[in-house]
Structure 1
Amino acid sequence: HFDDTMTAGCHHNDEKAVELLVREGPKRIRELINAGLSFDVNQDGILHLGQEGAHSKRRILHAGGDQTGRTIVSFLLEKLMGRMTIVEGEYVIELLVENGRCVGIKTKNQLGEISCYYASAVVLAAGGCAGMYAFSSNASTVTGDGIALAYRAGAVIADVEFIQFHPTMLFVDGKAVGLISEAVRGEGAVLVTEDGRRMMEHVHPLKDLAPRDIVARAIHDEMSKGHRVYLDISAIPSYRERFPTMANLCAEHGIDMETGRLPIVPGAHFLMGGVLVNDCGQTSIQELYAVGEVACTGVHGANRLASNSLLEGIVFGARAAEAIRRETAPPTPLRKKTNNIHSIKRGVNDLPEIPTIQTIMSIYAGIVRHEQGLQRAKQWFEQFPLSDFANGSLDDFSIEEITVIHMLLTGWLITTSALERTESRGGHYRTDYPFEREQWRQRRIRRTKKELTVTV
């Protein structure tokens, strides 16, 4: 598991973090099983081990067929009910930082009402930024808010040039409408062109189970040549029962699974970088933690190994919780934030539409990149007052406008980091630098808002 993770990550991974993942992962999974979580079993009642892209052996547990993530989250939420207060309908617009310490959050609701919540520790678990692209496996709300919030607060951001595109999104009427799990290829499905040619046959030794970045680029290349690409599932017995989510998705969009072919397209899926943390989820800001996709633990390197995301969340989430319990932070007084932050001058219609940002990111900072395109994207982002967005108060903006501002900051961070890394590695591929370069091995591009000067 360690070797597969390092290989998939193009050895950009933090070895210590990977060691923690593979050593503590089984223990955390056993804790979930002992708490009552049921994973899929075979006919003999033994845990069914699946295989997915870039794994050298069967080692992956599933729950509910292709609904593992949903099953785990539902199980954990059920355990939490009655033990905590959940606030919904509010959008975090700022992390409150005083004297280098995160003391709480500021939120806004659709009525424009602002609230402040104070705590001895804040855990950021806001997901990634795949919704910034035209084709995405994520919810439309996953647009880099956590990255932008942490950046505005002064936290260190790292590795955001590494974006993973999942090879197999169901493609209907020019839109990516849902994810087809990697487990489908693990059980025997193969990628073919419209004439039945197996397109991964001579691309990589692992063929259809090659690392995601390689498969996604291969599909992108075929489609750029005018070919249509399909996932051939005809070799999988009882695929409806084995993959109920896929079956429901196809039925919902009028795709006849009996043909054995599902039209697919790559879609933005996972951010390998994020808010830089240590092995306990601690960011560069005291009492601010980050877990899950929003965090950069270093586990994934330049390209995430299939199914390591859930395991990372479980392992490092537990480590963050234990660290918070160990450290007794000083009490936080309940008071209004009084920092003097300059207000941003409002313009009329001065923010772009979300689809425009998605188009810019998809064309210039997507699966395949090059200097000219990245420069164009950088110049486009820099027409907006990014330093004001990074340093000023957003209180007067609507939730929808703040979402766009967060996308602009995150998009600029991704684009400029991709421009700086003059090589190709994992989820970052440049046609002008198509190979890995030794001088970039294990070098992380770190970003803080000090690079944006405040203009008042």
Structure 2
Amino acid sequence: MSSFKCDVLIIGSGIAALQTALYASQTKKVMMVTKTNVRTSNTYLAQGGVAAAHAPNDHVESHVQDTMEAGEYHNNREAVTHLVTSGITAVNTLLSQGMKFDCNEYNQLVYGLEGAHSERRILHCKGDSTGKELAEFLLNQIQHTSIVVKENEMVVDLLIAKDGTCIGAVTRDGNNALQKYYATHTVIASGGCGMLYPYSTNSQNATGDGFALALKVGARLKDMEFNQFHPTGLYINGKVRGLVSEAVRGEGAILRNQDGIPIMEGIHRLQDLAPRHIVAQTIFSHMKKGQQIFLDTSMIKNFNKRFPAITALCERYDLDWRQGKIPVAPASHFIMGGIETDEQGRTNVNGLYAVGEVACTGVHGANRLASNSLLEGLVFGRELGMMLQHCPLQNIQINMEAYKDECKRPLLPTIQELQQNMFLYAGIVRNDEGLRTLSHWLQQFSLSTLLEESFQSLSKEEVTKAFMVLTAISIANSARLRKESRGAHNRNDCCNESASWQNASIIITQSHVEGSVVYEQVKA
């Protein structure tokens, strides 16, 4: 087994990982590992833009209020204010570095409108290719630094010293060989867990790895019950084939049933631009009745020029977008919860940090506001990277006898079984009976083994399944404990938004005594 040493080890290659690496590398030796290649992150797939109170007529407080309202006021207001305020600086920095956001014929920035925003504040690149263009922009900067990028290496374990400090990670590379990376600072920036569900807008890599890795070494997970389903995935032949950006509705598109009746009228004052959980739940309720839902885009002129990526997606599946009738269905999109951190990415495990979708700072509350995710990666990646610039380096105490290569062979489900059960019992609509059924089903997969054992002797496929099981049980039991409906957590057996639950979070930790997961309700 080969071993490497660096100052900062970053797991992932999305916008948060790239931003952290760029800033940290100004004073530190940085290595990035990603389990496929740098262009397969959720960032690269992001059609939406960067939300920022950047326009002359916009205001920070307006963006803060929109974020809080979309999050059903479960957000950490201080973190939201920091995100929004720093977001303006982040955008200006990108512009000064040469990032090209879309402009009109007068070379003025064009600000788009998306769901639950009260102002036009979304900056886009090449219409609906913002994530890809941002990723390429940051990757180009990385080429001119000393940052070392290791592709096709899946992290299977974190390394922990005798004193409980995280000192790096173990990966399995493309040749199936194990590699060890020792680092003073280890950053999890591995993205979300959208692939826990059969319908998802996410990269195939989004299998919850970071949550499980963190849980196994004692980090705290928070708000895992809040899973956002994007209302409009392109729905063809019973499968979601990709994302149809919320910006399409921002340009006037209307959701209609098969009879042409608008489905959002009378549901919310913002109608088709209501918060995502409301739109997704409305579409789902119609689909349960056997109705097909379409996005009427007939009013959008030059659709193919405004949304080239969506046009290409439709054409890939032989759908004629010119008809102005795009079939859609909700799909797993983003998790608001994650590894509990402060605003600078620190977890409760010394030497371990988290940033981006895998982290939970409290900015998204119970439901993320559209286009705040790329903003989050830019802002908190910069915050973490700048902090790491000034962090002292320490001698790493390597405890070789603690790292067992062998693992008991755990019983594991097929990925398809897990996805179907997650959607059935912990999907868009939930209840206690279904969540109990799901939790009981997940308990059979040797949770104590998955939490306590090394994964170094397991195949990549086995490790992926193990990570998915650990993340799934965290979501299922969190959802059972939150006995209300709030934001993206919709229970049909509980009342809406209980005041006693507004500032309460479910915290998940590993029990070192029983080798199980324990849950506690914590007041914010």
TM-score range, shorter chain: over 0.9
Give secondary structure in 2 for the equivalent of 1:166. strand
Q: 2:293 aligns with which of 202, 211, 229?
A: 229
Report the equivalent of 2:423.
Answer: 362
Give secondary structure in 1 for the equivalent of 2:463. helix
Distance 1:32 1:449 in 2: 40
Which amino acid counterpart does residue 407 of structure 1 have in structure 2? Answer: M
Which amino acid counterpart does residue 93 of structure 1 have in structure 2? Answer: V
- Asked if 2 retains the 8 angstrom alpha-carbon contact of 1:169 and 1:176, the reply is yes
Q: 1:252 aligns with which of 309, 316, 322?
A: 316
- Asked whether 1:402 is paired with 2:445, we answer no
Q: 1:443 aligns with which of 504, 511, 515?
A: 504
Report the equivalent of 2:74.
Answer: 12
> Please, what is the CA RMSD of the aligned residues?
1.4
- Asked whether 1:36 is paired with 2:95, we answer no
Report the equivalent of 1:52.
Answer: 114
Q: Cα deviations across residues 279-310 of structure 1 (Å, max 9, x unaligned)?
A: 10111111211111000010000000000000
Distance 1:42 1:199 in 2: 33
Change (3 A) 1:441 1:252: same
Which amino acid counterpart does residue 233 of structure 1 have in structure 2? Answer: T
Report the equivalent of 1:393.
Answer: 454
Which amino acid counterpart does residue 439 of structure 1 have in structure 2? Answer: S
More strand per residue: 2
Give secondary structure in 2 for the equivalent of 1:2. helix
Give secondary structure in 1 for the equivalent of 2:141. helix
Q: 1:376 aligns with which of 430, 433, 437?
A: 437
Give secondary structure in 2 for the equivalent of 1:338. helix
Change (3 A) 1:205 1:20: same
- Asked if 2 retains the 8 angstrom alpha-carbon contact of 1:53 and 1:306, the reply is yes
1:209 CA displacement: 0.1
Distance 2:350 2:84 in 1: 27
Segments of structure 1 that go 5 or more residues without pairing to the other structure are: none
Q: How does 1:178-327 map to 2 (within 5 A)?
A: 178-327=242-391
Q: Cα deviations across residues 75-102 of structure 1 (Å, max 9, x unaligned)?
A: 0001001421111121101111211221
Q: Cα deviations across residues 145-199 of structure 1 (Å, max 9, x unaligned)?
A: 0100111111010001000000000011111000011111001111000111000
Which amino acid counterpart does residue 481 of structure 2 have in structure 1? Answer: E
Which amino acid counterpart does residue 457 of structure 2 have in structure 1? Answer: D
State the TM-score, normalized to the length of structure 1: 0.97
1:36 CA displacement: 0.8
State the TM-score, normalized to the length of structure 2: 0.84
- Asked if 1 retains the 8 angstrom alpha-carbon contact of 2:209 and 2:467, the reply is yes
1:342 CA displacement: 9.2
Distance 2:452 2:471 in 1: 14
1:360 CA displacement: 0.6
Distance 1:201 1:377 in 2: 35
Report the equivalent of 1:139.
Answer: 203
Worse overlay, 364-373 or 116-125: 116-125
Give secondary structure in 2 for the equivalent of 1:66. coil
1:346 CA displacement: 2.3
1:257 CA displacement: 1.1
Report the equivalent of 1:167.
Answer: 231
Report the equivalent of 2:157.
Answer: 94
Distance 2:400 2:288 in 1: 52
Distance 1:64 1:450 in 2: 48
Give secondary structure in 2 for the equivalent of 1:56. coil
- Asked if 2 retains the 8 angstrom alpha-carbon contact of 1:342 and 1:392, the reply is no
Which amino acid counterpart does residue 448 of structure 1 have in structure 2? Answer: T
1:317 CA displacement: 0.6
- Asked whether 1:338 is paired with 2:401, we answer yes
How many residues align? The count is 452
1:325 CA displacement: 1.3
| Structure 1 runs of 4+ with >4 Å offset | 340-343
1:128 CA displacement: 0.4
Distance 2:78 2:102 in 1: 31
